[in-house]
Structure 1
Amino acid sequence: MRVGADFRPAWWLPGPHLQTLIPNLLPRRGVRLRRERLELPDGDFLDLDWGPPRRGPVVVVLHGLEGSSRSPYAAGLIRRLAMAGYQGVVMHFRGCSGEPNRLPRAYSAGETADIAFVAGQLRTRLPDRSLGAIGVSLGGNALLRWLGEAGEAAPIDTAIAISVPFDLSQAALRMERGFSRVYQWYLVGRLKRAVASKCGRMPMPVDREKLPHLNDFRSFDDAVTAPLHGYRNVDDYYTRASSRQWLRGIRIPTLILHTENDPFMTPGVIPEAGELSDAIRLEVAAEGGHVGFMDSLGRRWLERRCVAWLEDTVGGS
């Protein structure tokens, strides 16, 4: 089902960029986190940051590109989950927890094996607790792709995906236009620094001399992301890793929140109703930016909507 979102943007945050930037610049109250390291079968590790202990359902938060538990949206979600009685936990993708991972590979928009591993571990460890997941941006794309692959075998009970780049190729093209190039410059710069640092610690199948010249997502993904994660090239990566073609396979209750003015992509990447399985509710707002959704009172509608969905699908504490 595709419907309009019940969201009214703050009048003092017009346009896509203020809604995108201001929520990340305003101070946020966080909560104390407890770190847990999970060893992976391939010799690498993942770090989980657990929110305050709660008795309610467990909700895993999957951050976006170069995000972490310190990202304002992640910190806000964990705090709001705790207030509502949910046990929140941030799963860091490889290399995003503040400590470099051990292998040349890192993470990508098509990463599903690590999500499956964490979900399986939590389901085994906490068999009597309901389990949900919230994926943001890149994390949302990976979550939806995993759910589509898993179908009825998905070991979680509910999911939420926010500001998802459903079509990675179209999203990359959008980031080369207008002010969105500023976001691209910032994010690609962070990615290049991380890879350069890694090249100094271990052998990498990457030409380090080319790194300074990789100034957009498409060139970076072609030279770095694709070869590190088993894709032939950037087109193979974008085609196979995009979540849009996996949506019909999702079988658990899933809420997708999106805006038509997301500066990280065009409205054309938003799936039509016929592309969705019966388990999906896609709510599209005309405005709200990328992971913004600040309403007329300056509050974070996004967090309230996530908690309301969880209450409807897995209940409270």
Structure 2
Amino acid sequence: MKEYRPSILFKNRHINTIFPTYFRKVNVKYERERINLKNKDFLDFDWIKNNNTKLIILCHGLEGSSESHYIKAFSKYFSERNWDILALNYRSCSGEVNRSPNYYVSGKGDEIDIALDYSKKYENIILAGFSLGANKVLHYMGNTENKLESIKGAFVVSPPCDLYGSSIMMNKGINKIYANFFLKQLKEKVFQKIKKYPDIFLNSNVSIEKALKAKTLIEFDDEFTAKVNGYKDAFEYYTKNSSIYSLCKIDKPCHIVTALDDPMMSKTCYPTDAVKKNKNLSLNTPKFGGHVSYASISEEYWLEKYAYEYIETKILKK
């Protein structure tokens, strides 16, 4: 498998990270399925089905969706090579705010479990996650004992394995552009939800006023994300949802790709010690790549090619 060798332009971590968000266009056609949950809430799953026996379940990052450029790129690349696709949308990420006060979390959650309930016909399943979704996948793989036999392994990109460390990193210097970008979207979701369901947070022990005045992701998570999902504060939320604490329990092949120049990753997000201790883990740390990017001027990126080849030759062949 070839290494990622960017042009001079993409050796800048910030240009590499931002470029595909604004300039990469990938066209895919999904078939949407709405999953109605017992608490009157819902999840929207986007499929590409071609009667294949292999399925890749794609888990997007913070404030992403099935429309995120990296999700569409993987959907296109794998669906053209005899894979079916299930692209998840977490709560309030599919274009419509959800009906319950709960939001998606960075680690444990029911989205993957529910997706797998709808995927039992497949002989080979791979979980793939990106950024927050990568942490969710690793957290799932390390904390779920009775996984489907058809789950052959996972491929994850830029997982913030230490959520607290990553949050601190995004509050430093120029990295604040990313934190502010996410914070603006998160606050907008709160506005949308209150507008549609005015009383939805009355019993959630949340101060909406404080949440909307938050100046950092840590402040927002402390006042809103943690409390609305039943955690005491941001510290408890980060601790219980960081995959770094459960990597040692992963019992199926998981490949982690995190560029050394990723602007959102603290040193504690590179699980070198865990990889040494667990034979089921492997880690690739390219010198360049930014955050979930590996940008290129060409239509196809290194990342999806590398992922496809690694999954086919290193995971499914085991």
**TM-score computed with the length of structure 1 as normaliser:** 0.91
Q: What are the ranges of 5 or more consecutive residues in structure 2 without an aligned counterpart?
A: none
Greater displacement, 256-265 / 267-276: 267-276
SS at match of 2:144: helix
Quick one: which of 17, 20, 23 aligns to 1:20?
17
Quick one: which of 49, 54, 65 aligns to 2:46?
49
Which whole-Å CA distance do the structure 2 matches of 1:301 and 1:54 have between them? Answer: 27
Which whole-Å CA distance do the structure 2 matches of 1:304 and 1:63 have between them? Answer: 18
Answering whether residue 250 of structure 2 is matched by residue 250 of structure 1, we say yes
SS at match of 2:258: strand
Q: Residue 7 of structure 1 aligns with which residue?
A: 4
Quick one: which of 166, 174, 177 aligns to 1:179?
174
Which whole-Å CA distance do the structure 2 matches of 1:258 and 1:243 have between them? Answer: 15
Which whole-Å CA distance do the structure 2 matches of 1:151 and 1:256 have between them? Answer: 21
Q: Residue 189 of structure 1 aligns with which residue?
A: 184
Residues paired across the two proteins, number: 309
One-letter amino acid of the structure 2 residue matched with residue 216 of structure 1: T
Cα RMSD after superposing both structures: 2.0
Greater displacement, 22-31 / 92-101: 22-31
Quick one: which of 109, 120, 141 aligns to 2:117?
120
Change (3 A) 1:13 1:49: same
SS at match of 1:289: coil
Post-superposition offset of 1:267:
3.1
Answering whether residue 214 of structure 2 is matched by residue 214 of structure 1, we say yes
Q: In the TM superposition, what are the counterparts of 1:130-141 in structure 2 within 5 Å?
A: 130-141=124-135
Q: What are the ranges of 5 or more consecutive residues in structure 1 without an aligned counterpart?
A: none
Which whole-Å CA distance do the structure 2 matches of 1:5 and 1:173 have between them? Answer: 33
One-letter amino acid of the structure 2 residue matched with residue 167 of structure 1: D
Post-superposition offset of 1:53:
2.1
Q: Residue 78 of structure 1 aligns with which residue?
A: 75
SS at match of 2:283: strand
Moved over 4 A (4+): 295-299
Post-superposition offset of 1:62:
0.4
Which whole-Å CA distance do the structure 2 matches of 1:105 and 1:149 have between them? Answer: 21
Greater displacement, 250-259 / 202-211: 202-211
Q: Residue 259 of structure 2 aligns with which residue?
A: 259
Q: Residue 108 of structure 1 aligns with which residue?
A: 105
8 Å contact kept, 1:260–1:266: no
Cα shift readout 1:143-185 (whole Å, capped 9, x = no counterpart): 1001100146355222111101010111111111122101111
Which whole-Å CA distance do the structure 2 matches of 1:182 and 1:47 have between them? Answer: 29
**TM-score computed with the length of structure 2 as normaliser:** 0.91
Change (3 A) 1:296 1:279: farther
Change (3 A) 1:197 1:129: same
Change (3 A) 1:25 1:235: same
